[in-house]
Amino acid sequence: MAGVTSFRIPDRVLVGGGARRRTGEVVAEFGVERPLIVTDRFLAGNGTAEEVAHALRSAGLAPTVWDGTVPDPTASSVEASVEAARAHGADSIIGLGGGSPMDTAKATAMLLARGGAMRDYKAPVVSTGHVLPVVAIPTTAGSGSEATQFTIITDDANHEKMLCAGPAFLPRAAIVDFELTMSMPARLTADTGVDALTHAIEAYVSRKANPLSDTFALRAIRLVGEHLVTAYRDGSNAAAREAMMLASLQAGIAFSNASVALVHGMSRPIGAHFGIAHGLSNALLFAEVTRFSLPGAVSRYADCARALGAAPADSDDETASRALVEALERLVADVAVPHILDLGVDPGTWAASLDEMASQALASGSPANNPVVPDHGQIVAIYERIAAR
């Protein structure tokens, strides 16, 4: 039968203010006893990790906290998490934090169950089968990792951001509590929010898009259009925070089932080579990559523009699709995305890195999902344009 859609989401998703307090109830459903909470030092220091640990203990479980997650996790940092899990005798993993702790948690569960090294699992490998149960609790509104079949781990040897994919990386449960995002600073709010929008738009225009992923993607785009700038300007606005958390979740579900495309393929090497946060790397590329990609999916980009509020519902596709590029340029200006050369990137080093970054982008597989599939030279040219703007 042609046109069959396969769709995966976590077994259980809890959404709403205070949902984190029910972590013990959710984890206990999986018949485990000794969860390892994978988090970072900030969340361990401000009491959030202990609050989750208390909920687990109240359910009769025996958790411990490992707070060694690093931004843009590396294979060696994952190995440290694996050792902590072995020392605890962990039978389940809780990922608490932004994308980095959740990705570390998913990678830890994989290596504990299967062994080997992270490079053994990078794309085009698709990982299926049993791993330790992972429960993901996001504290930022952007990565969507709580609902995806992906983890991103950097190879220490060559600074490649490895895309590792497959149903085995999908968390068993996601606990989505917007209250955990209320203290996010403006810069992080902006960067993670643009990341969520990138996930949603790329899922919708991806060559692997399907009717179910389309539904989640368009809803996420609409929520970001209505609430990101408000959340950025007024972090105490609970309604905007809640909406952005839902947008991040829905965008994560969308791209987990439809994949991302060229923005993400090009973003990962920027982060790996220059230490620029993932969401910010996406923001630097977003408008330029969209402009390049428009001819391959005019009507789909037009749908995105209308959902974002960038074009009227009755606008024609050509006009609406062009309006999307302009809206993305306005958005990154509204949330004060800096120029790449203002982020401490040396122009000479940037130029010298372009060939390798373009090769790494293509090797990730994501550009192959793009409406216009680029060659190596076209990717280099886009990198050059974002530095020249």
Q: How many residues does the chain have?
A: 389
Question: How would you class 25 by CB atoms within 10 Å of its CB: exposed for 0-12, middle for 13-18, buried for 19 or more?
Answer: middle
Predicted TM-score (pTM) of this structure: 0.94
Per-residue pLDDT of the chain (389 residues; tens, 9 = 90+): 347 888 999 999 999 999 999 999 999 999 999 999 999 999 999 999 999 999 999 999 999 999 999 988 999 999 999 999 999 999 999 999 999 999 999 999 999 999 999 999 998 899 998 899 999 999 999 999 999 999 999 998 888 889 899 999 999 999 999 999 999 999 999 999 999 999 999 999 999 999 999 999 999 999 999 999 999 999 999 999 999 999 999 999 999 999 999 999 999 999 989 989 889 999 999 999 999 999 999 999 999 999 999 999 999 999 999 999 999 999 999 999 999 999 999 999 999 999 999 999 999 899 999 999 999 999 999 999 999 87
The count of C-alpha atoms lying within 13 angstroms of the C-alpha of 110, restricted to the half-sphere facing its C-beta, is 32
Structure-block tokens of residue 133 = 């149960």
Neighbours of 388 (CB within 10 A): 9
Task: Work out whether the CA dihedral 303, 308, 310, 315 comes out positive or negative.
Answer: positive
Domain boundaries, given as residue ranges, for the chain:
12-181, 186-388
- Reduced to 3 states (helix: H, G, I; strand: E, B; else coil), residue 200 is helix
Which 3-state string (H, E, C) describes 326-382? HHHHHHHHHCCCCCHHHHCCCHHHHHHHHHHHHHHHHHCCHHHHCCCCCCHHHHHHH
CA 164 to the chain's CA centroid: 13
For the chain, the 3-state helix, strand and coil shares in percent, each to the nearest 5, are 60, 10, 30
* The CATH number fitting domain 186-388, selected from 3.40.50.1220, 3.90.1200.10, 1.20.1250.20, 1.20.1090.10: 1.20.1090.10
CATH number of 12-181: 3.40.50.1970
**pLDDT at residue 246, rounded to an integer:** 98
SS3 state of residue 160: coil
